[in-house]
Amino acid sequence: MVKGKWIYPNGTCFEGNFDNNQPKGQGKWKFENGNCVSGQYSQIKRADVDPENVIKLSWKTTCDITAAPV
């Protein structure tokens, strides 16, 4: 998957770019209550761990949280 959406059972979702079936690059979290936050995921390959868990994800917010209208 290179672009798509992760959807959690509670309605929260991440929509954006993916690499290795994990988020990478620009994307947006949308929460169950309607709030949104944009940001960027980085993937860091680690050599010091088990080969199944070599990628560490890091999220950096690029804007303030946008609140849903009340």
Q: Alpha-carbon distance 31 to 37, whole Å?
A: 9
Report if residue 31 sits inside a domain. Answer: yes
Provide the residue-wise pLDDT of the chain in tens; the chain has 70 residues. Answer: 789 998 999 999 999 999 878 888 899 999 988 889 899 888 777 666 666 667 777 778 777 666 666 5
Give the range of the structural domain holding residue 53, as residue numbers without chain letter.
3-61
Q: Alpha-carbon distance 57 to 36, whole Å?
A: 19
Report if residue 66 sits inside a domain. Answer: no
Report if residue 69 sits inside a domain. Answer: no
Cα 23 from chain centroid? Answer: 5
Burial class (CB in 10 A: 0-12, 13-18, 19+), 27: buried
| Paired tokens of 32 | 């169950």
Q: What angle do CA 45, 11, 15 make, to 5 degrees?
A: 40
Report if residue 7 sits inside a domain. Answer: yes
Q: How many domains does the chain have?
A: 1
